[in-house]
Structure 1
Amino acid sequence: MSSSESPLITLPVRRHSHFYPQVRRLLAEAFPPAELIPEWVMNALALRRSFDFTAYFDPEEPSGFCGVTFTIHSDDLLFVVFLATNPALRSRGYGTRILDQLKERFPGFAIALEIEPMTTDASNFHQRERRLAFYQRNGFVETGLYTDYEGDQYEVLRYLPSRLPGEAHQGMQYADLGVLRSSLEELLASLAIPVYIPTIHVGISE
């Protein structure tokens, strides 16, 4: 986030929030039904301490609402389950601003998320490439780990916190893929929905 930009306003998403219909509409537009967690489950999980369901607003933008995240975290690892930006405001840096605010809110945390894998025969391959490039510009790297949800595979990307000389961040332990893998398995198991508990493996399964 540049020094000239004000932080986005963040508000917790709850079923009674006046902007709740906008959030649900954005999630439905951004993700296919098979990838979405049932609405009632997301609302229930959002009340737990380790989950955050957050909407983002730019007071300088007439439309206001610019994005949403749904995350789960441990003591030093943040997993971004969903991140979506308002399509009317895309290509204006809001995705980067949201990621920057997550990094600021969880200092010292490693951050992991999933994207569709770079399979060249995919019908939306170029879209997948652009998505990977976006996350790489924001400090994420490919890990070689993949999640598998009943045959649907996703690539795990990872961001490690910056470390200043003489500083030690616990999140740096996730440079070890074995640690990252086991910790992700624990986090995803806490979703408490069998169909959303993936297997995590190295490389794409045939």
Structure 2
Amino acid sequence: MLQFFDVTRDAPWFPQVKALYESAFPANERIPIKHLLDDKIKREFWAFFDKEEGASGSVEDAATPTFCGFSNSITHGSITNIVYFAVPPELRSRGYGSKILQAIRRQHPDTRIVVDIEVEEDSKDAEELERRNRRREFYTRNGFDASPVDYVWQGEHYRLLSAGGTVTEKEFRDFWKEILKDIPEAKYP
């Protein structure tokens, strides 16, 4: 059974979340983790655990729940933007990513959920293109569709995908404008 808990600096799982955050996202795609923890922006920063399967991969070891990923999202109005989302490499392709997305959807049944992916056309080599295609296919299998929104942030070209309805470029820009209205130094789309 998948459970999630708030990530705070004092949480016992904070080191696992921080390590996954730093390994899953290149430096140019990360903001300092302290900003994911501060309360200037109301974020949902969750660590996910599988209580049925223990750290060894067996049900017998279920006393130690398996850390199976994290999400960091922001909800405003009718949009929930999953800003960061990762599953440890050794647990990928085991359904955890889909379960995490389902948990987020259950928490926000009346919002359009958006994620961004790096644009495949900008891939520098075949390995990177394959990774980007797998990421897009994962979101497509989980009910996300391409939206008309592309943008550049921190030197990377992104495409927005949405579930639960399309998000226009104006809605996306207005979302971030409202979120960041009191934080002039923030760098977001």
The structure in which a higher percent of residues are strand is 2
Does 2:45 match 1:53? yes
Whole-angstrom CA distance in 2 between matches of 1:68 and 1:189: 23
**CA, structure 1 residues 54+190, in 2 after alignment: closer, same or farther (shift >3 Å)?**
farther
**CA, structure 1 residues 191+24, in 2 after alignment: closer, same or farther (shift >3 Å)?**
farther
Residues 77-96 of structure 1 aligned to structure 2 (within 5 Å): 77-96=79-98
Report the secondary structure of 2:137's partner residue.
helix
Aligned to 1:181: 172
Residues 9-48 of structure 1 aligned to structure 2 (within 5 Å): 9-45=3-39
TM superposition score normalised by structure 2: 0.85
Report the secondary structure of 2:38's partner residue.
helix
* Structure 1 gap ranges (5+): 1-5, 161-171, 199-206
Whole-angstrom CA distance in 1 between matches of 2:178 and 2:124: 29
**CA, structure 1 residues 77+97, in 2 after alignment: closer, same or farther (shift >3 Å)?**
same
Tell me the CA shift for residue 26 of structure 1: 0.6
Whole-angstrom CA distance in 2 between matches of 1:17 and 1:191: 28
Whole-angstrom CA distance in 1 between matches of 2:92 and 2:154: 31
CA contact (8 A) 2:76 2:175 kept: no
CA RMSD, 1 decimal = 2.1
Does 2:146 match 1:142? yes
TM superposition score normalised by structure 1: 0.78
**CA, structure 1 residues 15+61, in 2 after alignment: closer, same or farther (shift >3 Å)?**
same
Whole-angstrom CA distance in 1 between matches of 2:108 and 2:176: 20
CA contact (8 A) 2:147 2:167 kept: no
Tell me the CA shift for residue 190 of structure 1: 5.5
Whole-angstrom CA distance in 1 between matches of 2:68 and 2:34: 23
In structure 2, what residue type is equivalent to 1:28? E
**CA, structure 1 residues 129+34, in 2 after alignment: closer, same or farther (shift >3 Å)?**
same
CA contact (8 A) 1:141 1:158 kept: yes
Aligned to 1:100: 102
Taking every aligned residue pair, what percent have the same amino acid on both sides?
Answer: 29
CA contact (8 A) 1:53 1:71 kept: yes
Residues 90-129 of structure 1 aligned to structure 2 (within 5 Å): 90-119=92-121, 121-123=123-125, 124-129=128-133
Tell me the CA shift for residue 178 of structure 1: 4.5
**CA, structure 1 residues 191+153, in 2 after alignment: closer, same or farther (shift >3 Å)?**
farther
Whole-angstrom CA distance in 2 between matches of 1:120 and 1:194: 28
Tell me the CA shift for residue 113 of structure 1: 1.1
Whole-angstrom CA distance in 2 between matches of 1:114 and 1:156: 4
CA contact (8 A) 2:28 2:154 kept: no
* Structure 2 gap ranges (5+): 56-65
